[in-house]
Structure 1
Amino acid sequence: MDVRPARRAADRRVAALLAVSLAFGVATLPGWAAAAPTVAHASAAPADPPGDPAGEPGDETPPVEPTATDPAPTEAPPTGPPPETATPAPTPTGPAATTPAGPVDPPPTSTAPATTTLPPATSAPPPRPSAPGPGGSAPSRLGVRVSTEDVTLTEAYWNAEDTTTTLRVTVTNTGEVAELIRLSYTLPAGLTDAGTPGCAAAGGGEYHCGGWPTAAGDRFSTLVRVRVDGAAWRRMPLSGAVRVSASAPGVAGSADDNEGFAVLFPPGPPVPGISLDAGGVAFDISGAASELGVRLGNTGKADAAGRIEVVLPAGVTVPTPPAGCAALDQARTRCDVGTVPAGGTVALRLPVSATAEAQRDAPLAGAVIGRVDPRSGQARQLQMSFRITAAAAMSTPIATPAPAGSQGVLAAAGAGPDPAGGLTSVQRTAVILIVVSVLLVVLALALATTALRRRLAGQARTARAPAPSD
């Protein structure tokens, strides 16, 4: 067989070219396919401070709010240890976290009088870092967290012209430096400050207090003295808000946090022949609609027609009233529950939804009005308030600064999608490189196939040639 050295060398070059092209394509395709990373942009929505919910107007004149005639207070209210968390574990396995150190100045020596009626203790939620205020620096430097309990009234409220109680506020320095924390709060109509030390009226139901110098990690509580007017129940539901602001020397900006509180009235005014009970409303982290359960009882001796009316704060509604219920307006829903037998009870469940802003303002308060109208005798009516909570109020969005890196890394990370729906520059470059690699592989395969065909054709012609004679 006549095989020339030149053709043998050309076949070796084509094979080598094919091997290099295949290796190049296999090595670079995975890298180019991942050359266009996606960047997740987190948006931080600052929590708006809750406003005064619209209460039901009554015939009585609301109490006169004190005017801000004195200069801003320079001293903070007295403080004490934070309330203990409700942990039912009988044998704790770690150090107790219910008695952290109080603020640096003033020392936690003064406490509220023992005669005041405190609301029931609740579990303090875990601290949440707060988003920086306007012009603030990195969120890890400054941080503050506030949590509140509700203003809960007992049955004794119905026998007094007004009632003085307390609102417990727990403050935590969640930053990394010593901070000066200032407190302010808003009371709804029918409630006034009963002389909280270190706080002064600012008008419009607003009260401002002095500041606490606190070290990083300090957690303490204070009691705000509140006077509830005897006719405030006519305006239920009632809610308020507490705000804290933290600043530190040498650190720009401030950190802020806020939380609402509910004013909870017992069923009343007391009247025989009727009972009323309403459970709370709780929204989970998804913000989906929840349910409100109400029980209306007829404790009289004659059957009576029953009616339940629900009053909700701003942003909270009944999206789809069940059968027998009708929306009077956005805040009020009335339900006819039919005949309530003597000594019997009827139950009603209403779906309740809330806007994202209303959930951030929680805890809030709603009101329920129950009425029974017997066939003989006078109609009887009770009303009470219930609590509205939301998991969204326990989490504050935090803006995370972009990580430092080289200009090339930052440019690639900052490249967002084309507003018109096309590809970014990084994605276009990756597509071009992938196309070029595929073309090189195809070209190498075509060259190898052509060379192989030529070689086979030459071998066939050589086989058909007659053997030379001797």
Structure 2
Amino acid sequence: MLLATALALGVAALPGWAAAAPTLARSAAAPVDPAGEPGDETPPVVEPTATEPAPTEAPSTEPPPPETTAPVPMPTEPAATTPAGPADPSPVSTPPTTTAPPVSVPPPTSGPTVHPPAPGPGAPAPSPLGVRVSTEDVTLTEAYWNAESTTTTLRVTVTNTGTVAELIRLSYTLPAGLTDAGTVGCAPAGGGEHRCGEWTTTAGSRFSTLVQVRVDGAAWRQMPLSGTVRVSATSPGLTGSADDNEGFAVLFPPGPPVPGISLDAEEVTFDISGGPSELGIRLGNTGKVDAAGRIEVVLPDGVTVPTPPAGCVALSARRTRCDAGTVPAGDAVTLRLPVNASAEAQREAPLAGAVVGRIDPRGGRARQLQMSFRITAAAAMSTPIATPAPAGSQGVLAAAGAGSDSDDGFTSVQRTAMALIVVSVLLVALALVLATTSLRRRLGGPADPAHAPAPPE
């Protein structure tokens, strides 16, 4: 029994000895991007630097959108959910700027980005503070191409996920080409950042606010564009704060409009494992003459094409160009590219990427379209973000050995398993020796007088 147990522990420890950390190679720098395409370094729209104190008035609020309960794919075991809390009371602003109360919806199941102390004897209780923010994208319609600038909204939804009343502050950073269009209760703080007044909220409250943004008519030349929204929650009488942030993408439609060409790009989604994903692109020739096709993909920082497929070449760490071959008149070609994202990029999702499609008809003028696509990651919806551990004893051993500082290359668990194996073998050998010795004594010793035959008379 001891031998079987020791051998099982030893075999379970063996996979950890051969584990190796993967490495990520980055592409070298490439020639300068062609002018007039997304990713060009054009002068951004500069906002004036704030010269007055941060506003004390909170932005207006309105009922939040219904919460979705789409399951998040899990490679190992399903994620545990938190029991639903009380219905959301209406947030209170000073002074109140809305008359429509938020819809009563249970608070979300995911927790805030709070960093509690490591568990252990005498560790303090978890903080009662908690906050979560979610955003919608800035999505532009075809009307964008006919205007010098477009004013639209960015919806931000905030939830008090704590157990106490909180003061919640909002701040957001707009990318180049976007400026604030006069959001009440918010003021510029320089570098595209804006800070807003604070809401007084009760535990479990959930509400939305609309940030007014203006998109410049030339902002498409700098796609892909993404921004960030942050919230911070404090409570009187409590030290520290709870913080959360989420990105948003600026999505441009295909354009500027030009006849004879069509373009479409799929959304890229990374599951909770953080493994590679795929980008699908469809380039169409709506003209009457066959044309040579070309596609370029521009990715945000931290997102790369690890191995360009045949016909594709990396122009830089962010830009990949692919030869689409001949696109017949009235037909289209589809290209699929593998895509990787760093852990930091996945935490900042949603992000935006850009695609440039070009066709060159025989005997005609080349035509070009560009558009942006969305990049999402399940890791951005989970807090904290962690790499799933292997199941069973392998996961336990790997976790225990992660912090080992052994100089002989073995973890403490592996050394213990080896010691158990050696002790078990010695015990088995000792038992065999004792059994053999006892058997020999029985075979070679004198016979029992009680059962011996009577001597002859």
TM-score by length of 2: 0.74
1:152 positional shift: 0.4
1:74 positional shift: 1.6
Unpaired runs of at least 5, structure 2 = 14-32, 71-83, 101-105, 119-123, 387-399
Instruction: Note if 1:352 corresponds to 2:335.
Output: no
Equivalent residue, structure 2, for 1:218: 205
Cα distance per residue 1:204-262 (max 9 Å; x no partner): 11111122121111111111111111110000000001111112223332211111100
Residues 81 and 99 of structure 1 are in contact (CA less than 8 Å); yes or no, is this contact kept in structure 2?
no
Residues 93 and 198 of structure 2 are in contact (CA less than 8 Å); yes or no, is this contact kept in structure 1?
no
Residues 133 and 256 of structure 1 are in contact (CA less than 8 Å); yes or no, is this contact kept in structure 2?
no
Cα distance per residue 1:28-85 (max 9 Å; x no partner): 99999999xx9xxxxxxxxxxxxxxx971254x3222120201022222111111124
Equivalent residue, structure 2, for 1:102: 90
**Quick one: which amino acid aligns to residue 218 of structure 2?**
A
Work out the CA distance in 2 between the residues paired with 1:310 and 1:236.
11
Alignment of 1:15-30 (within 5 A): none
1:101 positional shift: 2.7
Alignment of 1:164-179 (within 5 A): 164-179=151-166
Work out the CA distance in 1 between the residues paired with 2:107 and 2:162.
17
Cα distance per residue 1:353-403 (max 9 Å; x no partner): 11111111110000011111122232111111000011111111189xxxx
**Quick one: which amino acid aligns to residue 288 of structure 1?**
G
Equivalent residue, structure 2, for 1:153: 140
Q: 1:33 to 1:140 in 2, by over 3 A?
A: farther
Equivalent residue, structure 1, for 2:111: 129
Residues 85 and 107 of structure 2 are in contact (CA less than 8 Å); yes or no, is this contact kept in structure 1?
no
Determine helix, strand or coil for the equivalent of 2:289: coil
Q: 1:131 to 1:465 in 2, by over 3 A?
A: farther
Instruction: Note if 1:292 corresponds to 2:279.
Output: yes
Residues 240 and 261 of structure 1 are in contact (CA less than 8 Å); yes or no, is this contact kept in structure 2?
yes
Work out the CA distance in 2 between the residues paired with 1:300 and 1:71.
57
Work out the CA distance in 2 between the residues paired with 1:300 and 1:98.
59
Q: 1:444 to 1:384 in 2, by over 3 A?
A: same
Work out the CA distance in 2 between the residues paired with 1:295 and 1:80.
39
Equivalent residue, structure 1, for 2:64: 82
Equivalent residue, structure 1, for 2:243: 256
Work out the CA distance in 1 between the residues paired with 2:200 and 2:440.
85
Cα distance per residue 1:383-428 (max 9 Å; x no partner): 11000011111111189xxxxxxxxxxxxx9998672426479989
Instruction: Note if 1:143 corresponds to 2:130.
Output: yes
Q: From 428, 448, 452, give the equivalent of 1:459.
A: 448
Alignment of 1:209-288 (within 5 A): 209-288=196-275
Work out the CA distance in 1 between the residues paired with 2:174 and 2:420.
60
1:127 positional shift: 3.9
Residues 177 and 216 of structure 1 are in contact (CA less than 8 Å); yes or no, is this contact kept in structure 2?
yes
CA RMSD across the alignment: 4.0
Q: From 54, 69, 77, give the equivalent of 1:72.
A: 54
Work out the CA distance in 1 between the residues paired with 2:402 and 2:277.
41
Equivalent residue, structure 1, for 2:81: none
Instruction: Note if 1:363 corresponds to 2:346.
Output: no
1:321 positional shift: 1.7
Equivalent residue, structure 2, for 1:185: 172
Equivalent residue, structure 2, for 1:6: none
Work out the CA distance in 1 between the residues paired with 2:426 and 2:313.
68
1:135 positional shift: 8.0
Q: 1:284 to 1:434 in 2, by over 3 A?
A: same
**Quick one: which amino acid aligns to residue 247 of structure 1?**
T
Unpaired runs of at least 5, structure 1 = 1-25, 39-53, 89-95, 113-123, 400-412
1:463 positional shift: 2.5
Equivalent residue, structure 1, for 2:45: 63
Work out the CA distance in 2 between the residues paired with 1:371 and 1:423.
59
Residues 401 and 412 of structure 2 are in contact (CA less than 8 Å); yes or no, is this contact kept in structure 1?
no
Determine helix, strand or coil for the equivalent of 1:80: coil
Q: 1:246 to 1:461 in 2, by over 3 A?
A: same
1:148 positional shift: 0.4
Cα distance per residue 1:164-197 (max 9 Å; x no partner): 1111011111112222111111111111111111
Work out the CA distance in 2 between the residues paired with 1:158 and 1:415.
54
Q: From 195, 202, 205, give the equivalent of 1:208.
A: 195
Q: 1:159 to 1:414 in 2, by over 3 A?
A: closer
Work out the CA distance in 2 between the residues paired with 1:212 and 1:447.
85
Residues 85 and 204 of structure 2 are in contact (CA less than 8 Å); yes or no, is this contact kept in structure 1?
no
Q: 1:383 to 1:30 in 2, by over 3 A?
A: closer
Q: 1:72 to 1:443 in 2, by over 3 A?
A: same
1:324 positional shift: 1.7
Instruction: Note if 1:333 corresponds to 2:320.
Output: yes
1:275 positional shift: 1.3
Work out the CA distance in 1 between the residues paired with 2:296 and 2:401.
54
Structure number with greater Rg is 1
1:448 positional shift: 7.3
Instruction: Note if 1:197 corresponds to 2:167.
Output: no
Residues 129 and 144 of structure 1 are in contact (CA less than 8 Å); yes or no, is this contact kept in structure 2?
yes
Residues 88 and 107 of structure 2 are in contact (CA less than 8 Å); yes or no, is this contact kept in structure 1?
no
Work out the CA distance in 1 between the residues paired with 2:136 and 2:194.
18
Determine helix, strand or coil for the equivalent of 2:379: helix
